[in-house]
Amino acid sequence: MPVVRAWWWAALAALTLFGSLPSAALAGPLMLTEADLLLSDSPTPPPDDAPWQRVSLPDRERRVQPDQGGAAWYRMAFEVPASGAAAAPWAVYLPYFYDGAQLSLNGEPLAHIRGSDAEVRVRWVRPHLVTVPEPLLRPGHNVLRVRATLPEGRALQFPSPAIGTHDELLPLYDRRLFWQRTLPQTAVVLSVLMAAFVLCVWWRRRQEVLYGLLGLAVLLWGIRTLPFVFEQVPTALWALWRAVFFAAQAGFAVVMALFALRFAGLRLHWLERVLWAYWAIGPVVMWAGGPNTEPWIDRVWGAGLIPIGLMVLLLVAWSAWRQRTWQAGTLLAALGLVLVAGFHDYLMVSNVAWATRLAPVWLGHRIYLLHLAANLLLLVMAAILTSRFVQSLNGVEELNLSLERRVADREHQLANQFDAMAQLERDRAAEAERQRIMLDMHDGLGSQLFTSLSRVERGAMAQRDVAELLRDCIAEMRLALDALAPSDDDFRSAFGNFRYRWDAQLDAAGVHASWSIDASDEGLQVPPHQRLELLRVLQEALTNVVKHAHARSVQVRVASRTQGLRFEVQDDGHGLDAARVRTGRGLHNMRARAHRLGAELSVVGAQPGTCVILQLGMPASTAQAAQHPPDAAASLRSR
Amino acid sequence: MGIGVLIVEDEPEFLNRFAQAVRSDANLHLLGAVASGSEAIALLDDRVPDVMLVDLGLPDIDGVQLIRHAAARHPGTDVLVVTMFGDDEHVLASIEAGATGYLLKDTSIERIVASICEIRAGGSPISPTIARKVLGRFRAAPAAAAPALNGGAVGATEASPLSARETDILRLVSKGLSCAEVGQHLSISTHTVVTHVKNIYRKLAVHSRGEAIFEAGQLGLL
């Protein structure tokens, strides 16, 4: 679709450009195609009997002759219809006149076009429209005389003047002015801006050589178009001015060739060097040889640019064939146009005989086409690079998007992995818990039952002992249930149950119990795996009170301090004797359990009775709690 | 006449133990001691026990069903659930079915008699676990029964059938305080505390029946 659109625009542009030009030739005004010529320096019109010779217009190749001075007189006669003279105002239109001239009508001065002198060199690009004052024009026979200054170093180009009413001629003048002067002026400004922009891009991204070449081409083209802007140049700078013009024009061709090479993906260093060397010849010759070398430069060196252009065309055609992209195709078409235009301009400027015979009228108009085609070419190149730029931006965006997607995917994977790891962790914690309970049952209840069974079987146990043993087992089970009860989410509940049960038990044993809990609900925290062990120590202590101490009362105190939880079981019994402290199984068990808890157990004599103190270090318990993520603890409880 | 006791227990060992306890006290007299639910239902048809001891693990009928039947048939009968540890879900289910107390299987004979007398005197035992579960039941229930109400926490307390005093008692018991301590704490007698507990159990049963009716309505059965 973009290809079609691009071609459509190109076709429209061509139609606008060329469709309008032939109308200049078909206009109604009177075209003067013949003149009498006399080479003479005379400031006044030479007499009619002087050796005038008849020439056809436009007159090309009129050069300075050493013996005849620097001016040429043209005399043109024309008839004005009687009715037409009244339809004022009339005008004389010169589609081009590059040098100075004096115009007179019927012997009266009509206009003066400034020519080159000691101070400035002129080369008028603009057309000239001279309004004829009404009294000067006579119905019937009129004579227009032009004294033209012959330029140095090149031929005088004398156009075919048109005479008609001002209204007829003005559109011709305007159109030519636009195409030959206004448009190049605009092109110069745009070229400079565009070159600055593109070269800035290249400056920051040196690897994009195509941008650099485009910028250079645009800049050279802007310089090459300068003579269309500045028509008068100080004489001192003239040689330099022309040298710059030719250098820029040839440089444009060379840079285009380099652009085409790169575009085709070719890196031929020798060819690039040859191209630069060829480019250097022109300016060097001009600098060394002076203004007189200009015709040679124009015809010979300029002609050498045509094969370079052809090479560019072939390269682009080749890459268009290979790439089959709209960019390559459009570039090929634009280049073709440039070459045709350049060839056309060359034929026109050089006055090649066969070409002049082939299209005398068209070439007589001296319409330069190259700068129009070149503008088109530059636009095409800019469009190509813009589309590349846009493509690479889109590519970057796409890359970013795909990177984002990949990052999101990876994040998702990581989250899944983390979930899996957390699940694994929970499973491991659950497994550890299960192991612990099994070990507990094996070492605790299990061994107690097995030992007792053995003793009962050999009749070593009294009935009362058996009952007591079984009560111990039941108490052990109750304790385990308290500590492991699935719905009990904290130590507070387990401790509440423990207290409730022991209250009844101590009451039944005739021991008055008083409990004091100096801890907030938050302070009374024990990690799940420590609860059972902790309650066992307390149970053992209370069992000792009931069984051995013969106490009347017992105080159970729980206190939460910054350094941890402190449990105290103090009775008013007859105290522990030293031997029991050392050898008693119960105490031994308590110490072992306290050790496993990482707690400190101390048994001190009170007055009277005994006090068992269990100090559970808070740092250890909180550290343990921190190791279990909340959800892992929840999964343990809900099993 | 004394307190008429019916024992439903499938294990002969415990049946004997409970029967022995009942016989040991002059104030109690054994109305019957059966080992299955069907026998108990048959017996309930022509006798009205004052206290009924029910083991949940019966061979023929779910103990909770039997309790529901007894509570419906003889609202004046106090049902004591016989339980191994006194803290499982079954105790709560039994209370919701209409039981007003529980008895641990390893309770001494003296304690069995005392428990029967206490429940007849208007009190009920309660453990921290049960207190917590009852609290939880009343907290969760209004939201479940009336999901359309978006009253939040205020709506929940308003909808709770428990009085502030009853809620306080449950909260203290759930922390492990004995009934005597709760009484001290609230400046009421222990007897009042256990009476409150019995009322709480009744409310729970009524509440659970209400829920059953609500659910039946939802299912289109009523």
Distance from CA of residue A312 to its chain's centroid?
A: 31
Q: Do B7 and B108 belong together in one domain?
A: yes
What per-residue confidence (pLDDT) applies to A480?
80
Q: Do B195 and B90 belong together in one domain?
A: no
Q: How confident is the model at residue A24 (pLDDT cuts 50, 70, 90)?
A: very low
The answer to whether the Cβ–Cβ distance between B127 and A497 falls below 8 Å is yes
Q: How confident is the model at residue A629 (pLDDT cuts 50, 70, 90)?
A: very low
The per-residue pLDDT for range A173-182, each reduced to its tens digit, is 999 999 888 8
- CA-based nearest residue in chain B for residue A499: B176
Q: Do B101 and B9 belong together in one domain?
A: yes
Shortest alpha-carbon distance between residue B57 and chain A (Å):
19
Q: pLDDT at residue A66 above 70? A: no
Q: Do residues B72 and B41 make contact, with C-beta atoms less than 8 angstroms apart? A: no
CA distance A268 to A446: 93
Given CA atoms A480, A485, A488, A490 in this order, what sign does their dihedral have? positive
Q: Do B20 and B106 belong together in one domain?
A: yes
Please state the domain extents for chain A: 2-6+178-401, 24-175, 462-638
Q: pLDDT at residue B171 above 90? A: no
Q: Do B158 and B67 belong together in one domain?
A: no
Q: Do B36 and B115 belong together in one domain?
A: yes
Domain closes at, from B75, B97, B120:
B120
CB count within 10 Å of CB A596 equals 11
Q: pLDDT at residue B69 above 50? A: yes
What per-residue confidence (pLDDT) applies to A419?
93
- CA-based nearest residue in chain B for residue A473: B106
Shortest alpha-carbon distance between residue B175 and chain A (Å):
5
Q: How confident is the model at residue A402 (pLDDT cuts 50, 70, 90)?
A: very high
- CA-based nearest residue in chain A for residue B108: A508
The answer to whether the Cβ–Cβ distance between A515 and B176 falls below 8 Å is yes
The answer to whether the Cβ–Cβ distance between B176 and A478 falls below 8 Å is no
Candidates A471, A485, A515; nearest CB to B129: A485
Name the more confident of A270 and A589.
Answer: A270
Shortest alpha-carbon distance between residue A541 and chain B (Å):
19
Q: Do B74 and B154 belong together in one domain?
A: no
The answer to whether the Cβ–Cβ distance between A474 and B132 falls below 8 Å is no
- For the ranges A32-46, A162-176, B38-52, B142-156, the lowest mean pLDDT is seen at B142-156
Q: What is the interface size between A and B, counted as CB pairs within 8 Å?
A: 45
Residue B161: which domain range? 128-219
- CA-based nearest residue in chain A for residue B176: A496
What per-residue confidence (pLDDT) applies to A637?
38
Q: Do B113 and B32 belong together in one domain?
A: yes
- For the ranges A188-192, A383-387, A580-584, the lowest mean pLDDT is seen at A580-584
Q: Do B16 and B114 belong together in one domain?
A: yes
Candidates B87, B106, B132; nearest CB to A481: B87
Strands A599-605 and A610-617: antiparallel
Q: Is A351 left (phi over 0), alpha (psi -120 to 50) or beta?
A: left
The answer to whether the Cβ–Cβ distance between B127 and A478 falls below 8 Å is no
A2-6+178-401 carries CATH number 1.20.1070: yes
Shortest alpha-carbon distance between residue A496 and chain B (Å):
4
Shortest alpha-carbon distance between residue B177 and chain A (Å):
7
Number of domains in chain B: 2
Inter-axis angle of helices B152-159 and B128-145, nearest 10: 110
What per-residue confidence (pLDDT) applies to B70?
92
CB count within 10 Å of CB A196 equals 13
SS3 content of chain A, % helix, strand, coil (to 5): 60, 15, 20
Q: Do B102 and B137 belong together in one domain?
A: no
CA distance A415 to A422: 10
What per-residue confidence (pLDDT) applies to A21?
42
CB count within 10 Å of CB A464 equals 8
CB-side exposure of A331: number of CA atoms within 13 Å?
Answer: 30
The residue written with tokens 């990052």 in the block is A407
The answer to whether the Cβ–Cβ distance between B128 and A515 falls below 8 Å is no
The per-residue pLDDT for range A210-258, each reduced to its tens digit, is 889 889 988 998 998 888 889 889 988 888 888 888 889 889 889 988 8
Architecture of domain A462-638: 2-Layer Sandwich (3.30)
Q: Do residues B172 and B182 make contact, with C-beta atoms less than 8 angstroms apart? A: yes
Region A290-313 average pLDDT: 80
Q: Do B93 and B149 belong together in one domain?
A: no
Does residue A481 belong to the interface with chain B, where contact is any CB pair within 8 Å? yes
The answer to whether the Cβ–Cβ distance between A508 and B111 falls below 8 Å is yes
CA distance B40 to B18: 16
HEC secondary structure over chain B? CCEEEEEECCCHHHHHHHHHHHHHCCCEEEEEEECCHHHHHHHHHHCCCCEEEEECCCCCCCHHHHHHHHHHHCCCCEEEEEECCCCCHHHHHHHHHCCCEEEECCCCHHHHHHHHHHHHCCCCCCCHHHHHHHHHHHHHHHHHHCCCCCCHHHHHHHHCCCCHHHHHHHHHHHCCCCHHHHHHHHCCCHHHHHHHHHHHHHHHHHHHHHHHHHHHHHHCCC
| CB burial string A496-505: b at 16+ within 10 A, e below | bbbbbbbbbb
Best mutation target, A471, A500, A517, to test chain B (most B CBs within 10 A) = A500
Look up the CATH number of the domain holding residue B53. 3.40.50.2300
Q: pLDDT at residue B112 above 80? A: yes
What per-residue confidence (pLDDT) applies to A15?
45
What per-residue confidence (pLDDT) applies to A308?
84
Instruction: Tell which residue, A540, A544, A523, A522, has the closest CA to residue A532.
Output: A540
Percent of chain A with pLDDT over 70: 87
The answer to whether the Cβ–Cβ distance between A471 and B133 falls below 8 Å is no
What per-residue confidence (pLDDT) applies to A574?
78
The answer to whether the Cβ–Cβ distance between B132 and A487 falls below 8 Å is yes
Does residue A455 belong to the interface with chain B, where contact is any CB pair within 8 Å? no
As a whole number, the mean pLDDT across chain A is: 80
What per-residue confidence (pLDDT) applies to A119?
87
CATH number belonging to domain A24-175: 2.60.120.260
The answer to whether the Cβ–Cβ distance between A498 and B85 falls below 8 Å is no
Q: Which residues 489-548 of A are in CB contact (within 8 Å) with B?
A: 492-493, 495-501, 503-504, 508, 515
B contacts of A487 (beta carbons < 8 Å): 129, 132-133
Q: Do residues A64 and A40 make contact, with C-beta atoms less than 8 angstroms apart? A: no
Domain closes at, from B69, B103, B120:
B120
Domain closes at, from B96, B120, B144:
B120
Q: Facing residues of B104 across strands?
A: B83
Name the more confident of A295 and A210.
Answer: A210
Q: Facing residues of A233 across strands?
A: A121
Look up the CATH number of the domain holding residue B146. 1.10.10
Q: Do B147 and B112 belong together in one domain?
A: no
Percent of chain B with pLDDT over 90: 25
B contacts of A477 (beta carbons < 8 Å): 85
